[in-house]
Structure 1
Amino acid sequence: MIPQRIQFYLYILFALIVIIFSCQKNSNENNESKESKKQIDSLINKADQFDKEEKFNNAFHYYNQTKLNANQKTDIEKIAFSLLKMSEIQQNNGDYIGSETTATEAIPYIIKANNLDYTWTIYRILGINYFFTYDFENSILYYQKAYQLNTDKKRKIAMKNNIALVYREQKKYKPAIQIFKTILNEEEIRNNPTLFSKALDNLGYCYTLDSNPIAIDFLNQALQIRLKQKDALGLGMSYKHLSQFYKNSNPELYKKYAKLAYEKYTKANCIDDRLKSLELIIKYSNGAELKKNSITYIELVDSISIVRQKAKNEFARIKYDSKKEKDENLELKANKTENELQLERQKNRNIVSYIIIAFSLFLILILYFYMTARATKDKIEATYQSETHISKKLHDELANDIYHTMAFAENKNLSVTENKEQLLNHLDAIYLRTRDISKENSPVITDENYVFYLKEMISGFDTTHTNLLINGLDFISWNDIERNKKITVYRVLQELLVNMKKHSNATLVGITFKTVDKNIFINYIDNGKGANIDDITFKNGLHNVEQRVLNIKGQIDIDSAPQKGFKVFLKFTI
């Protein structure tokens, strides 16, 4: 606790700072100038051109500049449009959370603009974002809002289709099939081969998931149309759904169509669906083919994770830099208009500055001692938690086994060979559990032998039921990395592998190491049963993982969904 006397001084410092910034804010507001209509139009035109050329970072920058420089009262529609385009760019680059944030920011401007087209678009964007982040209830809510708007028939059909896709993902096949049937009968769909084949394929795949054999008729009809059109993306979808239709009945056709789907998605440069097709191939691969496909899969996932993470970081940086630049420009303009009063104010500012510096130094000193004491307390608490964890493990995993072994020895005739062997088996199991607990909590060796012991720990989880792949470990300059960071890597991977072994039932685990611009990237992925990310409680193992990474000022991103494996992205500086 900070003493009351120190708190009093801090209150005075805070009051002085508030007064200074209030004066500056009032001055900025009185002298604020807006960009002309011509300049705003120029920014939008540049953004549109870059968007057309698929230079999305540049487009995002200029749309953001439009939003920041437009007049909040007279340029409402242009602000709404810019935010819509920014949200679309983020969504198309896999940044669904960022897209949702930008779309939410756009809603008040769209309401004021009263533009039906913008309203429909923002509802569609939000529906897609919620779909890809597995928030299906909100996804349906916004698709229904878009459907209820007074728009054309084509847009209404699109929203019905999206609602059916959500139902299909929720395994509500009956209502999904009913919607797909109504879409199939729409004149606008039947007169368009691309849309008609898509509707046939969606209905056929829904029947497949509902275990209805008539699915093959619809899937084949869709395939024939797409073959005539030579639609690579559509053919990829048809082949993938045909593969899943033959999953349980014909392994050869299953694998054949999975490979065809992979080829078409590769040609169409559709990364996400290419990965899904590769997953289908892996399930029926073995030997060298399994290893080759698994390495390709892990490399693709690793590449996608890094690209999308960089896109997220770039969009966030653009927003931050633009806001900072605008604030700096406003400050410069305000300073220019205050030149006549500057000399008079400077005397007062100097006095205030000295006070602020003195109190800041005092505050830093107080915070230093406070943080030091807190760090000591955290270290003691961490030690206590570690001891408690070991004690609990000993009790939960050994105490009962020892008790039952003692009871067995007391109640059985150990001269009988069978009883004697059973007793020895019990003792051997107790020994192995004791050794595992010891290894889990033993010191981590961080000298030049670190890589050897890290590999040894990881390989301990490579069993007949779990195929474990490591990529890039030997290319990391571990000797250049701090000791505590190496310990963190060791413990985090150990925690993830223990969690995998206990809960995931994974048959394939991949761990990829990579160095990019003095940053270490570690991607962990398994094909286990996964979990809903919104339902994960960060306790025990996962809490330890997150806390360890944050302690070394790293970043962690966990991605999982039921039956879709478990992925963890780690990043920290060398």
Structure 2
Amino acid sequence: MKSIFSYFETNRILSFVFLALILLLLSCDKKKQIHYKKTDNTTAIYKLVKKGESLQNSLDDDSAIFYFHKAQQLCDPKKDYANQYVYISSKIAGSLQREGDYFTSETVLVKALPYLKYTTRPRFAQMIYTSLATNYYSIYDYENALIYYKEALKIAISQFRKAQIKSDIGFIYLQQKKYLEAIKILEPLAKKKVENKIDPANTEIQHSYVLYNLGLCYLRLGNHKKQAFENLTKSMEIAIKSKDDSELIGNSHALYLYYKKYNNPELKKYYAMKGYIAASKEKLVVYQINALGEVIEAEDGKDLKKYIELYIKLTDSMNDVRKMTRNQFSNIKFNFKKHKDENLELKTQKAENELQLQRQKNRSFISYIVICLSLLILLFLIFYITSKGKREKDDAIFKSETRISNKLDNELNLNIYETLLFIQDHDLENKENKEKLLTSLNDIYSKARNISRENSRIPTDDRYVSALKEMISEYKTEDVNIILNGFDTVSWEAIEKNKKIILFRVLQELLYNMKKSNSSTLVSIIVKVTHKNLGVSYTDNSNEMNSKNIILEKRLQNVENRIKTIKGTINFDKNTERGFKISFTFPI
């Protein structure tokens, strides 16, 4: 058990998932019971909403959504808490929009539509319609965005909120290239500020938004350079004073477009980068991508490659979300009859739930036990398999290190010792002694290099044949000639990686034994493919088979074992009068 606890300590993500599943299972029954409680949850809902709003203002949307969901669970029956339920839905949708998850945001808002008629605060209904319009605008469905902005305008009470919605409608017309219609709405709002009596700071922000949209209209309309510049610069001045990075994003984009149209590369690049920095601070991925595109278009220096790589990374992650959103985003219309049908369906569902509640409670307890036991068994198996794999890996590493250590000791120990004695007993100033020392050192280096290559990584891609031939050529000397046949006729890419590695090691071992015997002058290696089998024939003219038959077979036991692991067959030719011959085949 100590090992299991230690495993969870080092794998905190797995531990979190496990605990979350347990908590979720234990909370399911509680959620069902809340639906039927008639207690006053107003205070608890208020506290949770305030906590969520605080986190949302700190841009911690994931945590904010968690608290909003907890508050929303206390709003059953929803008709009794219509104001709270609708308001919370709009806040959740806002966080999801900021993360670019428009589909889930739309789902949350649609669930709130049937309860708008029960709210006593028209502003909350207006927030739902405005959020729906924002969703549609975000996926470029401008017609539906206009429908919901106009619905929001019908129920808006204060002049300031009406001005806000009119500005949004003007912005949609701008996106539709209906510049004259947009100017007709925005010009009166730009000439006369509409005061926000509740939060005076929003007065300037809203005025900046109107000037921004109006400036863009003049810019796109053409032949209104002065009007475009005046409105856009005034909007930027207000945004800078507000010290709100989200306001700087749009203004920077607008001035980028202005200086792009009127050919000022330096200021164009400046405002593109300013917009990207503001979007990054606000963690608005969509705007980061748009601003990065502008930076790339304006950039011509050494940082261009860096911005392109960042653009590709952000775009790839965002495309998946948008693709899902466009495919699944339903065409929702304002329809009171539909709301009535949805309410009737909810009532029917509630009656069915009451009938099944007692039966469900009995099943739930057994289900929790079974699921928890299954999770524990699964986690134990994961721990066991992981630990076993780690032990096997450690054992393999230890064996490999021991084998390499023994080989170094057997092959280099004597050479190094003799070299050290030679250095002590001979005058190295003598030319002949110096050359003998260099020869000895070169031999030590060659053996060490060969051992290193024997245990190095073998390439199995298109470099395999070259690496194999290079390894074979290392055993070729002035006294030993090696003949290769058929290597270039084999389709190596069709052979599995594991089989390539084993073939490489087998030939390496055969050549090593040939070199060790020091009695061969000619080696022949023939490769041939027949009936989906690769056949290899190795022959040399050493006297190994005649004089040390039994010893040699024991030494090549490792070769035989390797061939058998890939379901191959091996044959030692014992009838050769002179020399050593071995052949083997394996399926490809």
Bin of the TM-score, shorter chain as denominator length:
0.3 to 0.5
Structure possessing the higher radius of gyration over alpha carbons: 2
TM-score (norm 1): 0.46
TM-score (norm 2): 0.45
Q: Considering Cα pairs closer than 8 Å and 6+ residues apart, tell me whether 1 or 2 has the greater RCO.
A: 1
